[in-house]
Amino acid sequence: MSDDDQSSEAKGPRSLMLSSVLSSDALAKLRMHASIGSQFRELALGQSEGLRQAYVALQYPVIGDSIAQIRALLNENPIGSLMREMQAAQEHMRAIPTLRLDQFRTPMSHEIGSMLSKLQRNPVAEWLRVDQLRFQSNLSETLAAIRQPYLNIGKEISSFTAAVELQSIGLAVREGLSFNESFAHTLRADLGDWRDDTEEPADPIDVESRAGLYADRGLQPELVAFPVLTFSSLLEQAGLILPAVAGVAQAVASEEPLELTKAAYAWLLHFEHAIRHFINQAMTRAVGPRWIQQRVSAELIEKWKAKQEAALAASMARPSLLDYADFMDYPQIITRKDNWREVFKPVFLREEHVRESFHRLKPVRNATMHAGLITQQDLLFLCVEIHRLTSAMRS
User: Which helix or strand (DSSP H or E) is residue 338 part of?
Assistant: helix 337-339
The per-residue pLDDT for 60 is 38
Structural domain contains residue 233: no
What is the number of other CB atoms lying within 10 angstroms of the CB of residue 75?
Answer: 11
If pLDDT is split at 50, 70 and 90, which confidence band does 243 have?
A: low
Burial category of 4 from C-beta neighbours within 10 Å (exposed 0-12, middle 13-18, buried 19 and up): exposed
Average pLDDT, the chain: 75
- In sequence order, the 6+-apart residues with CB closer than 8 A to the CB of 245 are 263, 266, 267, 270
β partners of residue 152? 104
Mean per-residue pLDDT for 295-312? 93
For the cut 90, the answer to whether the pLDDT of residue 175 exceeds it is no
Burial category of 8 from C-beta neighbours within 10 Å (exposed 0-12, middle 13-18, buried 19 and up): middle
DSSP assignments along 108-170, one per residue: PHHHHHHHHTT----HHHHHHHHH-TT--TTHHHHHHT--S--EETT-HHHHHHHHHHHHHHH
- In sequence order, the 6+-apart residues with CB closer than 8 A to the CB of 31 are none
- With pLDDT > 70 as the criterion, what percentage of the chain qualifies? 67
Which structural domain, as residue segments, surrounds residue 182? 101-224
Cα–Cα distance measured from residue 16 to residue 25, given in angstroms and rounded to the nearest whole number: 16
The segment with the largest mean pLDDT, out of 39-48, 134-143, 163-172, 261-270, is 163-172
- Scored b (16 or more CB within 10 A) or e, 275-312 reads bbebbbebbeeebeeebbeebbeeebeeebeeebeeee
Claim to verify: residue 318 and residue 390 sit in the same structural domain: yes
Claim to verify: residue 390 and residue 248 sit in the same structural domain: yes
Cα–Cα distance measured from residue 80 to residue 72, given in angstroms and rounded to the nearest whole number: 9
Boundary residue ending a domain (95, 126, 159): 95
Greater pLDDT, 240 or 77: 240
Claim to verify: residue 265 and residue 216 sit in the same structural domain: no
Q: Which stretches of 253-316 are assigned E, i.e. beta strand?
A: none
For the cut 60, the answer to whether the pLDDT of residue 259 exceeds it is yes
Structural domain contains residue 44: yes
Q: Are 390 and 244 within 8 A, CB to CB? A: no
Total domains in the chain come to 3
Cα–Cα distance measured from residue 345 to residue 350, given in angstroms and rounded to the nearest whole number: 7
For the cut 60, the answer to whether the pLDDT of residue 240 exceeds it is yes
Question: Helix, strand or coil for residue 154?
Answer: coil
Greater pLDDT, 329 or 373: 329
For the cut 80, the answer to whether the pLDDT of residue 328 exceeds it is yes
Boundary residue ending a domain (73, 95, 117): 95
If pLDDT is split at 50, 70 and 90, which confidence band does 356 have?
A: very high
Claim to verify: residue 183 and residue 219 sit in the same structural domain: yes
The per-residue pLDDT for 89 is 52
β partners of residue 104? 152
Give per-residue pLDDT as tens, 277-290. Answer: 999 999 999 999 99
Claim to verify: residue 108 and residue 122 sit in the same structural domain: yes
Q: Are 150 and 163 within 8 A, CB to CB? A: yes
Claim to verify: residue 162 and residue 85 sit in the same structural domain: no
Claim to verify: residue 91 and residue 144 sit in the same structural domain: no
Q: Model-level pTM greater than 0.75?
A: no
Boundary residue ending a domain (77, 95, 113): 95
Window from 27-31, 193-197, 327-331 with minimum mean pLDDT? 27-31
Give per-residue pLDDT as tens, 13-47. Answer: 333 333 333 344 444 444 444 444 444 444 434 44
Cα–Cα distance measured from residue 299 to residue 326, given in angstroms and rounded to the nearest whole number: 13
> Strand pairing of 151-152 and 104-105?
antiparallel
Claim to verify: residue 59 and residue 35 sit in the same structural domain: yes
If pLDDT is split at 50, 70 and 90, which confidence band does 254 have?
A: low
Claim to verify: residue 85 and residue 106 sit in the same structural domain: no
Structural domain contains residue 230: no
The segment with the largest mean pLDDT, out of 16-25, 174-183, 338-347, is 338-347
DSSP assignments along 236-299, one per residue: HHTT-S-TTSTTHHHHHT-S-HHHHHHHHHHHHHHHHHHHHHHHHHHHHHHT-TTHHHHHS-HH
Greater pLDDT, 196 or 258: 196
